[in-house]
Amino acid sequence: MMKLIPVLMMGIMVLNSCEGELDNLGSQFVDGSEALEKVYALAAYNVNNHDVQNVVTSQYDSVRIGAFSEPVFGGQKVSYITQVRLNSYNPDFGTNPVVDSVVLTLKPRYETAADSTKTTTNEDYIYPDGNVAAKKVVNTYPVRKYGKYKIGKDTPPFTIRVHEVTDFLGGTSDSIKTNKPIAVASTDIGSKAFNGTVNSVVITKDSDASEILNRAASFRIPLKKEFFQDKIIAKQGNQVLKDAASFIRYFRGISISVDESDGYLFSMAPNDAAITIYYKNDVTPTGGGTAVRTAQETSLNLGASNVHLSSIAYQRGSTYTAETQKGVTVEQLKTKDLQINNPATKLYLQGMGGNSIGVRVPISTILQLRNQYKNDKIAIVSAKIRLYNDNTDWDNKYRKPSSLLVKERDTMSRFLPDMTLLSSAGYSLVRTANLSTKDAYYDVSITSTLKKIIEDESYYDINKYNGKDFIIDVGSYLVNSSTGALLGQTYNDRPYNPFRLLLVGSDINNIGNVISNDSKNVQLRLIFTQKQTN
């Protein structure tokens, strides 16, 4: 099973980095002598992923729902699509079963801080089933949002709407594109206004304080009982309810979406959703007599055995489109001699199928460092790619990502050598600074990788490539929840990661040259020592 958890040995450390800081690999080589520092300008470019990602649906640890629009990246609308299965097949709903109500329960992730929780207590509550005197305590929590936060001020409440899916979704091991059009019925099967909060409810008897009801924090949407009467209950004994293969081709799933085009995105674990059908049937007492209408319930399974995904649609602005089209496409990344004709001055980075960026260490820089390694006996003790937030066009209150995914363009499926060689030495792939401000920046630690490029010509052949490219995405790596081990380069949360970031791009006139420490352009920051000659 996969789970996103903090990984100390490879996680993202939020700190205020100081100039000249050495990473764990290099510090042992300085040995009290003076370390030299140089900053090189790098070539950077946007990578157009066509706003889509191929995802194996069983890899979804989370899904998003909502809509969000801002002027730099444009509009984004996300629906949750999932299959539905019976908890048991060939069910017996009894005699004369009639649905009373149907409820879809969602459990968005929510804030738990005491100052975020609102508690309402009704000491004089009467529980309707039996008219029991009771106390009702409702805790209200705001859901975790990415986007506009103040409901009613920044954005009105969402209308969450549920539709039946009419396309077959396949199996959980299948790969599916995040922008794949998925057909739904024209008429919804349920809807409800959502103000961005979830409620937990506890009801206790006045007589002995025993619990009548204890409902975890959730958002409950009433669904149309007539639909489920006809779709499920009335099909008792029919072949479509007798096995899973028949059922998921008969009732193919549901779509959960919002009507609005702006607001925020919220998340939930897909396995936490559930549909409960409440119905009554005739039950004859033991020994005979008049049948009694008796309350019953059955659930539909929305858990891990089902295909589920976030289906994403974008509406991009003209500036974003023009800038990203100057870059390269994800298909062009496979080109052996990839030419970077238009280094970007602004870099657009976004999860959920959005833009990636590429950062190139030019051949000229690699050759210069190789010559210095051979002739001047330099030893690289720290190497970082530094990326600065664009504080002119991305000066806002939206949360910035605290983690990045990084891979080498020529070996896209593996981790950086640093990640495999140094994981036990306190290595951090990315270190961040000033994330809550417009002056945020990111350091990607590539010391071991660059040393191999410079010192091992069999690792990097300068005759094969135009430079050493690193491909960077917004996201966090997934780990095995039992062992904590990383699952692999392709196992990450990018399909449902909502973050986006605008970065300062290349200093076009100085690519490959040594530049000022004060530069905010994409750069390689090196610390090295040099053997002293007598």
pLDDT of residue 427 exceeding 80: no
Distance, in Å, from the CA atom of 87 to the CA atom of 91, rounded to the nearest integer, reads 9
Q: Phi-psi category of 144—alpha, beta or left, where left has phi over 0 and alpha has psi -120 to 50?
A: beta
Task: Output the six-digit token pair for 332.
Answer: 């062009």
pLDDT for the residue numbered 12: 34
pLDDT of residue 456 exceeding 60: yes
pLDDT for the residue numbered 57: 78
The per-residue DSSP string of 245-270 comes to HHHHHHS--EEEEES-SSSEEEEE-G
Distance, in Å, from the CA atom of 176 to the CA atom of 53, rounded to the nearest integer, reads 8
Compute φ and ψ for 409, nearest 5 degrees: -60, -35
**Residues 26, 29, 34, CA angle at the centre, nearest 5°?**
100
The per-residue DSSP string of 511-525 comes to TTSB--TT--SSEEE
Compute φ and ψ for 125, nearest 5 degrees: -75, 140
- Beta carbons within 10 angstroms of residue 492's beta carbon: 23
Half-sphere exposure of 402 (CA within 13 A, CB side): 11
pLDDT for the residue numbered 307: 92
| Strand pairing category for 404-408 and 308-315 | unpaired
How do residues 313-364 score in pLDDT, each as one tens digit? Answer: 999 999 999 999 999 999 999 988 898 988 999 999 999 999 999 999 999 9
**Considering the chain, what percentage of its residues have pLDDT values greater than 90?**
74
The DSSP call for residue 108 is: B
pLDDT of residue 31 exceeding 60: no
**Considering the chain, what percentage of its residues have pLDDT values greater than 70?**
91
The per-residue DSSP string of 379-444 comes to EEEEEEEEEEB-TTT--SSSPPPS-EEEEETTBTTS--HHHHHSGGGT--SEEEE-TTSTT-EEEE
Amino acid in position 395: D
The model's confidence at residue 34, banded by pLDDT at 50, 70 and 90, is low
How do residues 472-529 score in pLDDT, each as one tens digit? Answer: 999 999 888 888 788 889 889 999 999 999 999 999 999 999 999 999 999 999 999 9
**Residues 313, 316, 321, CA angle at the centre, nearest 5°?**
130
- Beta carbons within 10 angstroms of residue 105's beta carbon: 17
Measuring CA to CA, how many Å separate 257 from each of 70, 158, 189, 310? 19, 9, 12, 10
Measuring CA to CA, how many Å separate 209 from each of 132, 139, 202, 213, 522? 12, 18, 11, 11, 63
pTM for this model (two decimals): 0.89
Measuring CA to CA, how many Å separate 305 from each of 50, 86, 143, 414, 520? 30, 11, 26, 29, 48
Pinpoint the alpha helices (H) of 10-132: 24-30
Task: Output the six-digit token pair for 142.
Answer: 């705001």
**218 in helix, strand or coil?**
strand
Query: Sign of the CA dihedral 50, 491, 264, 178?
Result: positive
Average pLDDT score, the chain? 90
